Amino acid sequence: MEADTPPTSSLVRTLRGETVRPAPVWFMRQAGRYLPEYRELRKTASGFLEFCYSPDLAVEATLQPMRRYAFDASIIFSDILVLPHALGQKVWFVEGEGPRLEPLTDPSGLTFATFSGHLAPVYEALRRLRAALPAEKAVLGFCGAPWTLATYMIAGRGGLDQWPARTFAARDPDTFAALIDILVDAAIRHLVAQIEAGADAVQIFDSWASALDEEGFRRWSIEPIARIVAGVRTQAPNVPIIGFPRGAGTGYGDFVDGTRVDGVSLDWTVTLEAAKSLQKSGVCVQGNLDPARLAVGGPGLDRAVRAICEALRDGPFIFNLGHGISLETPPENVTRVIDLVKETTAP
């Protein structure tokens, strides 16, 4: 089983190791609250999870930035926390504050009994999205990495330096490993189902990788993601996989070597010299504009975009942000960045 990946998709070609000019560009969270049309659409749903589980709304939200901008890829509108929700954990969102979960102390209560049916609306949205976009526009699926999901599941919310998950893992590594095993299985199932629904590539978000020490990063980030990559490839061997261990710092090289991802997303703290070194190792690099520069705009934004493009344009390179678009971002700044990327990386 494999996704139908057209040769015209510049993003997929780049993830397979080609140097494509102009460089493909998409942004994490490119669909969302910075767009006035999204804010109007959001009013039609009773809650955020209800929004994510409505194929009509999810597809419309995903297509909104594709109508505005010359992005080369679209990532399905969803959330990483649909996985713990599908496994039976209580999840809800508090307006203006973010996600809340019923804190988990024992993973044995999690179940796959209704997993696929629970997530069916996500896969239906992805099928509709793939049908709605031309072949040259890649469609991306995604999931949260086991460590990042575990931090939310144990603490019941984000933040707090991931102290609840870190102390849980240190105090009871066997139980924590059991939770990670469940999440590895869930991630493989979810990514494969998204590929079957039409995703041309997938990304694994380890948004809280920065909280881990060296041993923890290897055990709870690299090793589980390596298992996910291997598991997905047994069923979809030619579908590219991107990993994003945000805040991994000097551990990015170990992450690439250990997981064998096709592409690696870089946060904005990664130097361009380090990014070029990763490129030379054979991996496609993606990133890494600071979202704050995008929000502010002006000459500083132009300089940063040009510096990234000039440093990385000669290797497999996808222009993206170092994290998601901020709510404060003026939509016109996105147009400016795309124009600069296409101009600076032109053949």
Q: Which of 16, 21, 38, 42 is catalytic?
A: 42
Please give the C-alpha separations between residue 293 and each of 96, 321, 334, in angstroms, as whole numbers: 23, 10, 11
Answer yes or no: 29 catalytic: yes
Decide if 138 contacts 72 (C-beta within 8 A). Answer: yes
Pick the catalytic residue from 21, 33, 218, 260.
Answer: 33
- Burial of 142 from C-beta contacts in 10 A (0-12 / 13-18 / 19+): buried
Q: Which helix (H) or strand (E) holds 204?
A: strand 201-206
What does each C-alpha distance from 92 to 5, 99, 115, 311, 330 come to in angstroms? 35, 6, 17, 42, 29
Q: Which of 13, 29, 219, 313 is the catalytic position? A: 29
Q: Containing H/E element for 58?
A: helix 55-68
List Cβ neighbours of 22 (8 Å cut-off, separation of 6 or more): 341, 342, 343, 345, 346, 347
| Separation CA 240–CA 134 (nearest Å) | 19
Distances (CA, A) of 110 to 20, 49, 92, 144, 302: 44, 19, 17, 17, 48
Catalytic residue from among 13, 34, 72, 79: 79
Our answer to whether residue 33 is catalytic in this structure is yes
Half-sphere exposure of 204 (CA within 13 A, CB side): 38
- Choosing from 34, 53, 152, 252, which is the catalytic residue? 152
Annotation marks residue 233 as catalytic: no
Instruction: Give catalytic residue positions.
Output: 29, 33, 42, 79, 152
